[in-house]
Amino acid sequence: MMKKIVFENNKNIIGDGLRAQRLLCRLSQDNLAAKMQTLGVNMDQQMISKIERNARIVTDYELACFCRILKVSAEELWQGKFKAE
């Protein structure tokens, strides 16, 4: 049986930052999921929603792809430091 990973009732630390940066980039959850799929990451809108609600863990390669698509560092996602371009 796999142990559930939760820290302070959250399954990830980028949910809020991911949503904020996604909105700054004017991407829907569907658009972001499609961009993830072009990078070889099997992801759909529901998975993005769960990540943003801290209801799903994020793997290291998913984090790297989010950063690449959204043009931010991992630190910016978890600290919420965003800038509009």
Give, in order, the Cα–Cα distances in Å from 62 to each of 1, 10, 35, 58, 85.
Answer: 24, 17, 12, 6, 23
Domain ranges within the chain, ordered by starting residue: 15-77
Output 9 or 2, whichever has higher pLDDT: 9
**Does residue 14 carry a pLDDT above 80?**
yes
Instruction: Tell me if the domain spanning 15-77 has CATH number 1.10.260.40.
Output: yes
Write the DSSP assignment of 15-27 as a string of letters. Answer: HHHHHHHHHHTT-
* Integer Cα distance of 32 and 38 in angstroms: 10
pLDDT given at position 85: 46
Residue-wise pLDDT for 35-82, tens only, equals 999 999 999 999 999 999 999 999 999 999 999 999 999 998 887 655
3 pLDDT more than 70: no
- The pLDDT of residue 10 is 77
pTM score, whole prediction: 0.85
User: Given a cut of 80, is residue 9 above it in pLDDT?
Assistant: no
Whole-number Cα distances in Å, 23 to 40, 53, 75: 22, 15, 18
Whether 51 and 15 have beta carbons less than 8 Å apart is answered as yes
CA 54 from chain centre, in angstroms, equals 10
